[in-house]
Every structure is written in structure tokens, then in C-alpha cells.
Structure 1
Amino acid sequence: MLNTYPKPDVIIIQEHRLSHIDYTEWVPQLEFMKGPIFWNAAVYSAREDSLADGTAILTSHKLAEGITAHGVIVRSRVQYIILERSRAIKTGILNIYSPNYTRFRSNLW
């Protein structure tokens, strides 16, 4: 039978605007996939007097054992995970949240 409601194994979130403290309050809502959550907190923007940016990668429990590495490349903007499905198959997932302004986007790239 065809599954008409497939469940994702990876969800990528961008511009969540949550600090590490905010994240701890939201964890119960983000754990619905029952797998590891990789967090890249938002940063304070003095220009807007608020938190800005932030990325996250949510994974299902099925992928947990295969995640061999993860990290933040650019604070609040870029993060990654590496999945090893077998010795021959490794998959890297990047979560990139690029700035809206050309000058800032150029600096990121």
C-alpha cells in the first residue's frame, strides 16, 4: 500500500530567531521527530533590538545512529550534519540561511 502521508527524516529551519534560552522552552515542541536536534542559535541584532537569524536541523530517530558529525560553520547562519548510511555512502546536509542584502550575502559566500 502506498503511504500517502510520508513522514520526513530531516527538517531544516531557518530564521527561527530563538536564543539558547528560548530553545530550551521550545524543545518539547521540536522533539516530535524523536531524533537529535542540531541547533544554531539566533544572535542579538542591535540595529533591530531583537534576535535575528538562527538555523536548526531536526532529524528523525531513524537517522540518529548514522549521524557521524555535525557543527556550526557560521554562527546563526550555516550548520551541517554528516550521515553515514554505509561505509560507501556518506551524505552531508548543509543548512544555509543567507542574508537578504547583496553585500552581506557576498561576504557569506
Structure 2
Amino acid sequence: MDPTTGTMNIELPKYTDMSKDIGPFLRRMTILLDSQNLDDARKQAMLKIQLPDACLDFLEGKEFANYNALVNSLKEKYNGQISKTTAQSRLLSFQFEFKDVEKGILKFAEL
């Protein structure tokens, strides 16, 4: 906390890995924004600033009635399901190499 102004500089979290569930990021961001007593429009703007361009592209042209509607839209879109599906697909198509057991185990561990 800055003793001269009574303010605190807080580094806002960023959502960078779009293959992961956005829920934990949104939870932290909402706590932070609620602590700042911002109006709804400013909360939406501050959240959007912390999103990568691909998320902003998804949101472009959409209007949200309030901050919670924006959050719910992001939770639906970026729920981590793509990475789960990719992992399941890789696991189902994995072929163990019995000729070289060590190599096969290492390849399996990389999944």
C-alpha cells in the first residue's frame, strides 16, 4: 500500500491458456473487481482488458446485459473441454510399442 495516497497497486490476473477452463481466472477476477466497487460497465471493460485477442474476437459485436452475463458466456465458451477432448483422443489412439518398452512408457507418460 502506498502510504502517501492510501492506494494499493494490484496486478490483475490474465487469462492466457485458452485450452484451460476459464472458471478459476474469472473467479479471481470477479473478487478483485468486486473489491474495487466498480459499476457494471467498468467491470466488463476491466475484464475484457485482461483477455487475449481470441477471446475478444469471440465477444466482438455481442452485448451483455451485465457483468454476470459476460462471465457466463465466457464460461460456456472456454470451459477447457477442447483440451480434455484432445487428451482423450490422444489416449484412445495411443499404440504401445512392445519392442521398446522403455520408449513406449515414455511416450505414454507424455500424454
TM (norm. structure 2) is 0.24
Structure with the larger helix share:
2
User: Greater relative contact order (Cα 8 A, min sep 6): structure 1 or 2?
Assistant: 2
Larger Rg computed on CA atoms: 2
